[in-house]
Amino acid sequence: MEWEAVIGLEIHAQLATRSKIFSGASTAYGAEPNTQACAIDLGLPGVLPVLNEAAVRMAVKFGLAIGAEVARRSVFARKNYFYPDLPKGYQISQYELPIVRAGRVTIQLDDGAEKEIGVTRAHLEEDAGKSLHEDFHGMTGIDLNRAGTPLLEIVSEPDLRSPREAVAYARKIHTLVRYLEICDGNMQEGSFRIDANVSVRPRGESAFGTRTEIKNLNSFRFLERALAYEIERQIEVLESGGSVVQETRLYDPDRNETRPMRTKEEANDYRYFPDPDLLPLVLDEAWIEQVRAELPELPDARRARFMAEHGLPAYDATVITAAREVADYYEAVVAAVGGEAKLCANWVMGELAGALNRDGIEITASPVGPEALAGLLRRILDGTVSGRAAKEVFEAMWAGEGDADAVIEARGLRQISDAGAIERLIDEVLAAHPEQLAQYRAGKEKLFGFFVGQVMKASKGKANPRQVNELLRRRLDAEG
Amino acid sequence: MTLGPEEVRRIAWLARVAIREEDVPEYARHLSRILEFVEQMAAADTEGVEPMAHPLDLPQRLRPDEVTETDQRERFQAIAPQVERGLYLVPKVIE
Chain centre to alpha carbon of residue A388:
30
Q: Ranked by mean pLDDT, which of A186-200, A371-385, A411-425 comes out on top? A: A186-200
Name A348's Cβ contacts closer than 8 Å, sequence gap at least 6.
Answer: A320, A326, A329, A330, A333, A373
Q: What secondary structure letter does DSSP report for B21?
A: G
Q: Which residues of A touch B82 (CB under 8 A)?
A: 139
User: Do residues A255 and A370 share a domain?
Assistant: no
The mean per-residue pLDDT over the stretch A188-210 comes to 93
Residue A68 has pLDDT above 90, yes or no: yes
Per-residue pLDDT tens digits for A291-345 = 999 999 999 999 999 999 999 998 899 989 988 899 999 999 999 888 888 989 9
User: Do residues A109 and A249 share a domain?
Assistant: yes
Contact B65 A32 (CB under 8 A): no
User: Do residues A364 and A220 share a domain?
Assistant: no
User: Do residues A341 and A272 share a domain?
Assistant: no
The mean per-residue pLDDT over the stretch A33-47 comes to 94
User: Do residues A203 and A64 share a domain?
Assistant: yes
Of the listed ranges A365-374, A451-460, A471-480, B79-88, the least confidently predicted one is: A471-480
Q: Which residues of A touch B59 (CB under 8 A)?
A: 279-282
Residue A264 has pLDDT above 70, yes or no: no
Helix and strand element counts for chain B (H, E): 3, 3
**pLDDT range class, residue A8, cuts 50, 70, 90:** very high
Per-residue pLDDT tens digits for A103-139 = 999 998 888 788 999 999 999 999 999 988 877 788 8
Q: Ranked by mean pLDDT, which of A77-86, A133-142, B59-68 comes out on top? A: B59-68
The A residues from 71 to 90 touching B (CB cutoff 8 Å) are: 75-76, 80, 82-84, 89
Determine the residue among A139, A264, A268, A288 to mutate to test chain B binding: the one whose Cβ has the most chain B Cβ atoms within 10 Å: A139
Which strands sit side by side in the sheet containing A69-70, from one edge to the other? A69-70, A100-108, A114-126, A150-156, A3-14, A192-202, A212-217, A248-252, A257-260
Q: For residues A33 and A62, what is the distance between their CA atoms, to the nearest angstrom?
A: 31
The mean per-residue pLDDT over the stretch A449-474 comes to 84
| Mean of the per-residue pLDDT values of chain A | 90
Q: Which residues of A touch B92 (CB under 8 A)?
A: 133, 138-140
Using the Cβ of A143 and the Cβ atoms of chain B, whether some distance falls under 8 Å is answered with: yes
Is the model more confident about A59 or about B42?
Answer: A59
Q: Which residues of A touch B85 (CB under 8 A)?
A: 33, 141
Residue A263 has pLDDT above 70, yes or no: no
CATH code at A435?
1.10.10.410
| Mean of the per-residue pLDDT values of chain B | 90
Residue B7 has pLDDT above 50, yes or no: yes
Q: For residues A170 and B53, what is the distance between their CA atoms, to the nearest angstrom?
A: 33
Contact A19 B60 (CB under 8 A): no
User: Do residues A316 and A462 share a domain?
Assistant: no
User: Do residues A465 and A356 share a domain?
Assistant: no
Domain count, chain A: 3
User: Do residues A188 and A284 share a domain?
Assistant: yes
Contact B53 A24 (CB under 8 A): no
State the burial class of residue B62 (Cβ atoms within 10 Å of its Cβ: 0-12, 13-18, 19+): middle
Is the model more confident about A208 or about B94?
Answer: A208
For residue B86, what is the nearest residue in chain A, using CA coordinates?
A33
The mean per-residue pLDDT over the stretch A280-295 comes to 94
Q: For residues A394 and B81, what is the distance between their CA atoms, to the nearest angstrom?
A: 60
Is the model more confident about A477 or about B65?
Answer: B65
User: Do residues A192 and A216 share a domain?
Assistant: yes
Using the Cβ of A248 and the Cβ atoms of chain B, whether some distance falls under 8 Å is answered with: no
The mean per-residue pLDDT over the stretch B41-69 comes to 90
Per-residue pLDDT tens digits for B40-51 = 988 899 899 888
Contact A84 B90 (CB under 8 A): yes
Residue A267: per-residue pLDDT: 55
Structural domain harbouring A361: 297-411
For residue A134, what is the nearest residue in chain B, using CA coordinates?
B92
Domain boundary among the residues A411, A432, A451 is at: A411
Angle at alpha carbon of residue A134, lines to A131 and A140, rounded to 5°: 45
Domain boundary among the residues A237, A268, A288 is at: A288
Provide the percentage of residues in chain A whose pLDDT is more than 90. Answer: 56
Closest CB to A53: pick one of B13, B62, B73: B62
**pLDDT range class, residue B94, cuts 50, 70, 90:** low
Please give the interface size between A and B, counted as residue pairs whose CB atoms are below 8 Å apart. 131
Q: What secondary structure letter does DSSP report for A19?
A: B
Residue A265: per-residue pLDDT: 43
Contact A23 B53 (CB under 8 A): no
Enclosing H/E stretch for A354? helix A353-359
Predicted ipTM of the assembly: 0.85
User: Do residues A188 and A331 share a domain?
Assistant: no
Contact B87 A132 (CB under 8 A): yes
Residue A236 has pLDDT above 90, yes or no: yes
Closest CB to B54: pick one of A25, A97, A276: A276
Closest CB to A51: pick one of B60, B69, B86: B60
Helix and strand element counts for chain A (H, E): 17, 17
Per-residue pLDDT tens digits for A145-180 = 999 999 999 999 999 999 999 999 999 999 999 999
Task: Report chain B's terminal Cα–Cα distance, integer Å.
Answer: 36
Q: Supply the Cα-derived Rg of chain B in whole angstroms.
A: 22
The mean per-residue pLDDT over the stretch B70-79 comes to 94
**Which of helix, strand or coil describes residue B19?**
coil
Closest CB to A279: pick one of B60, B68, B95: B60
Q: What secondary structure letter does DSSP report for A288?
A: H
Is the model more confident about A205 or about A463?
Answer: A205
Determine the residue among B7, B54, B65, B82 to mutate to test chain A binding: the one whose Cβ has the most chain A Cβ atoms within 10 Å: B65
Provide the percentage of residues in chain A whose pLDDT is more than 70. Answer: 98
Angle at alpha carbon of residue A128, lines to A126 and A132, rounded to 5°: 165
State the burial class of residue A121 (Cβ atoms within 10 Å of its Cβ: 0-12, 13-18, 19+): buried
Q: For residues A357 and A204, what is the distance between their CA atoms, to the nearest angstrom?
A: 43
Per-residue pLDDT tens digits for A466-476 = 888 888 888 88
Using the Cβ of A145 and the Cβ atoms of chain B, whether some distance falls under 8 Å is answered with: no
Domain boundary among the residues A288, A308, A338 is at: A288
Residue B38 has pLDDT above 70, yes or no: yes
User: Do residues A138 and A216 share a domain?
Assistant: yes
Closest CB to B88: pick one of A24, A89, A142: A142
Residue A371: per-residue pLDDT: 92
Q: For residues A161 and A2, what is the distance between their CA atoms, to the nearest angstrom?
A: 13
User: Do residues A407 and A423 share a domain?
Assistant: no
Q: Report the interhelical angle of A299-310 vs A324-337 (nearest 10°).
A: 20
For residue B85, what is the nearest residue in chain A, using CA coordinates?
A33
